[in-house]
Structure 1
Amino acid sequence: MHRKEFVAAGAAVLGAALLPSAALASGYALKEQSVSGQGTSFAGISAGGNGDASSMFFNPATMGLVKGNQFVQTFTGIMPYSKLESASARRAAYAGGTTITGRTDVGDGAQDAVLPAGYFVYTVNDDLKLGISGNGPWGLVTDYSYDWVGRYHGVRSDLRTYNFGPSMSYQVNPVLTVGFGIQVQYMKAELSQVNDFGLRLGRPGSLDLTSDIVGDDIGYGFTAGVLYQPLPTTRVGLGFRSAVTHELEGDITISNRPASLAGVLPNSSTATAKTTTPEVVSLGAYHELSERLAIMGEVQWTNWSRFRELRVAFGSPALGTSSTEEEWKDSWFFALGATYKATDRLVLRTGIGYDQSPISDAYRTPRIPDADRTWLSVGAGYKVTDAIQLDVAYTHIFVQDSTLELTDTSPTGVNAGRGSLNAKYENHVDLVGIQARISF
């Protein structure tokens, strides 16, 4: 393959990843990076159980399984549902203890999205493979009306990431392959909420100001992995994605500010926030029971305990600092799956997974009303020609109902002025994916 063809293929991968990508996920992670992997609920993905280059997102060493050169493009429709079933809010005793009025019929606060991912692997020789990928590994969108009852805790949350990853794999010997890659990650975040400025005036609820914060940053990290294949029918893979730290910088804009406050409350100001995406470790296994039937499993650990608080510092002394306690805990994901080659051209897939939420009841917020979830997936792959394969997958994710029990008890606490909020959500997610693979 000529150098200009390699550059063109890489550009196609990067261009695909620039499409919008955001959705409600476990925490704010987006596992939906491979449609062939989705068919088994991502069981065995870090051991290359899906059979194509998209497994390199989870373990770059699996590029060693690719024969020749390969381009993979995926699109996954993510349809989360998070309906507010009930909600009530009250000001703290120090703020008068009055009921906070507002809408509770806000419906589904999560937004649908299409998440693309692209991969290209170039074979230098039998031992060395070079690759590049474009993904949106982290993201979420939740959106409420500005007059809902929990508006002081959050209105709109929009997090988007675009991750570009050059990588390589090298076969050390016939049973061991290692891989390494670089992460170049752009993050953009938007947070909106309503502030009860009437508290400062001694008249709670008399003046609601809307604040919108937008910031972005570029961060860097790496990926690494190993693939061990003691038998032609058996593989074990271990993949690692590093943390990526972002120093988000942007602006805050305040709406509905009366002219009388112009001298003490700026209409706009700078804003900064530091956030770090968690490390992820994936362990997968793949075993062929026969020429047609294979089984696989996956265990994944995510270091969510990095996320202790959401803190935003403002350039204006009048605005100070905004802080929200998160106190997330590390989470685990488990999956089992199977593939069956119905014919030489058609492969069928199925899988089940359990995805643990990092959020406890005491710290759940309306920005991410997440809970534990169970995955059920089916999928299929069909070889249109010897060089082209199409894959499809469908997943229904059963998400436990989630509750909020946020309290405002102290004028100096993290929820000071926001009031106490109690709410219950009904949740589920549907995923529909399509993928094209071209080998040459």
Structure 2
Amino acid sequence: MKNNKKYLAVVIPLLISSNANASGFFLPEATYSNLGTAGAGDGVHTDSAAAMFTNPATMSGMGDRLFTGNLSVMDLEMKYSDTQDPSNPIGPNGDANAHEVMPTIGLYYVKQLSDTVHGGIALASQGGMAADYGSDWGAALALNDITLMTLQLNSSVSVQVSEKWSLGGGLQFSYASYEMNATGPSFEQGDDWAVGYNLGALYQHSERLKFGLSYRSAIEHEIDTTTLNSSVDATIGLEIPAIADISMAYSLNSDWDLLASVQWHNWSAWDTTPVSVAGGDASVIRGWEDVWHFALGTEYKLNRDWRLKAGISYETSPQDDPSKQNADLPVGEQWRYSVGASTKVNDYLIDFYYEYADLGSVEVDQSKGPSGNAGYAGYFDGRLHFIGMSVTY
């Protein structure tokens, strides 16, 4: 058991969260309903079936039937600048750059079931990550490459309870897959299914003003895996946090709309990452705080055929203590900037967008390393480019 404890000390700062959307690395772009506005107003949008993912009550405003397909390409780059003393005998020294290009996709379908009831189903990913730093950087003993994928199947129902109010709810079935390789210990690919729920309300105050309120429950995954080095059984806990959203849309006139959203991400519930290796407790202390997300956007009707869009969002940092940051998930405050345009071709609404996400500069100080192993210290600088489109009919 003594060797197992040393093994645990080396591997355990290594887990990435699927909320890789914003907080952490949680990527909501595949679930945007109004592309080009950085997610602002998604909880009240009814021109895209994708809005059901944020707020199921929006389905009541989508007519007889609506289908939306979102497709984006994500270009992620994470740069590591090593700052530890070159004479430090613990671990290698060196900068690194992880660059990955990956697609994201979301499929959404809504159908009116009666005069007051709509049903819908969505298949999308709330987040994921792939990063490969190689084997010659400052944290190589802790991490070479890591892959995390999540996929959510969401079935929902909405009810028009009055002229102004709609209510909705649904079940979300979540799949997660995780794999990590390092110069030191590594984890084989493992996966897990878990279940959560979502609730929402839509209030149409007037023809010009509407509000949405929604909540997605936390989802807890337990991923069973095996270490590559010694074939030891391991279990890794992965949590997608609870998210509450308040959205608003206001029409200044027939051509110009203002959009806003505020979200709360319950990351403080993820105080530790539960990890068990060979039956021993090796949980990682994260010490995260809740995250607040603010988004503002606008839509402008340029002419009969085109609408132009723009948006900006900001997220607070869940962790500002360098000693509690880790190579698997360096997290800080985030800014997103987005532009887009939409047009209608016959019965097809086509949206195009570009978004840039500044993931900030995050200081990491694990220079002593757990139990004298895998020590590293430096800065992570990250950015994301998204380019994509959606088709709704």
Structure 1 unaligned spans of 5+: 1-20, 91-96, 196-209, 255-266, 410-414
| 2:336 equivalent to 1:375 | yes
Structure 1 residues 141 and 27: alpha-carbon distance in aligned structure 2, compared to 1, 3 A threshold = same
| 2:272 equivalent to 1:282 | no
Aligned AA for 2:326?
Answer: T
% same residue: 27
Structure 1 residues 301 and 428: alpha-carbon distance in aligned structure 2, compared to 1, 3 A threshold = same
Q: Contact between 2:257 and 2:300, CA under 8 Å: does it hold in 1? A: yes
The alignment's C-alpha RMSD in Å is: 2.2
| 2:340 equivalent to 1:344 | no
Task: Extract structure 1 runs of 4+ deviating beyond 6 A.
Answer: 21-24
Partner of 2:23: 26
Between structure 1 and structure 2, the one with the greater Rg is 1
Aligned AA for 1:219?
Answer: A
Cα deviation per residue 1:77-103 (whole Å; 9 max; x = unaligned)?
Answer: 11122111334368xxxxxx9423535
Partner of 2:169: 180
Counterparts of 2:135 and 2:381, CA distance in 1: 21
Structure 2 unaligned spans of 5+: 1-17
**SS class of match (2:205):** strand
* Equivalent position to 1:435, from 382, 390, 393: 390
| 2:44 equivalent to 1:47 | yes
Partner of 1:268: 231
Counterparts of 2:26 and 2:91, CA distance in 1: 33
Aligned-residue offset at 1:432: 0.8
| 2:284 equivalent to 1:329 | no
Aligned AA for 1:289?
Answer: L
Counterparts of 1:342 and 1:143, CA distance in 2: 43
Q: Contact between 2:32 and 2:42, CA under 8 Å: does it hold in 1? A: no
**TM-score, with length taken from structure 2:** 0.89
Counterparts of 1:272 and 1:68, CA distance in 2: 45
Counterparts of 2:305 and 2:144, CA distance in 1: 49
Counterparts of 2:319 and 2:171, CA distance in 1: 29
Counterparts of 1:114 and 1:24, CA distance in 2: 15
Counterparts of 1:26 and 1:389, CA distance in 2: 30
Partner of 1:425: 380
Structure 1 residues 427 and 275: alpha-carbon distance in aligned structure 2, compared to 1, 3 A threshold = closer
Structure 1 residues 24 and 229: alpha-carbon distance in aligned structure 2, compared to 1, 3 A threshold = closer
Partner of 1:202: none
Aligned AA for 2:384?
Answer: V
Partner of 2:34: 37
Partner of 1:160: 149
**SS class of match (2:57):** helix
Aligned AA for 2:84?
Answer: S
Partner of 2:189: 214
- Bigger drift between 167-176 and 109-118 goes to 109-118
Cα deviation per residue 1:62-91 (whole Å; 9 max; x = unaligned)?
Answer: 11110221110001111122111334368x
Counterparts of 1:101 and 1:249, CA distance in 2: 28
Cα deviation per residue 1:297-337 (whole Å; 9 max; x = unaligned)?
Answer: 1000100112222342223x7xx444432111110110111
Aligned length: 375
**SS class of match (1:367):** coil
- Bigger drift between 245-254 and 267-276 goes to 267-276
Q: Contact between 1:168 and 1:181, CA under 8 Å: does it hold in 2? A: yes
| 2:137 equivalent to 1:148 | yes
Aligned AA for 1:31?
Answer: P
| 2:141 equivalent to 1:132 | no
* Equivalent position to 1:359, from 309, 316, 319: 319
Q: Contact between 1:142 and 1:367, CA under 8 Å: does it hold in 2? A: no
**SS class of match (1:153):** coil
Counterparts of 1:103 and 1:297, CA distance in 2: 45
Counterparts of 1:424 and 1:305, CA distance in 2: 24
Q: Contact between 2:31 and 2:124, CA under 8 Å: does it hold in 1? A: no
Partner of 2:158: 169
Aligned-residue offset at 1:246: 1.4
Counterparts of 1:355 and 1:185, CA distance in 2: 24
1:298-309 matches, cutoff 5 A: 298-309=261-272
Partner of 1:13: none
Counterparts of 1:30 and 1:234, CA distance in 2: 28
**TM-score, with length taken from structure 1:** 0.80
Counterparts of 1:357 and 1:113, CA distance in 2: 25
Structure 1 residues 43 and 271: alpha-carbon distance in aligned structure 2, compared to 1, 3 A threshold = same
Q: Contact between 1:46 and 1:237, CA under 8 Å: does it hold in 2? A: yes
Aligned AA for 2:75?
Answer: M
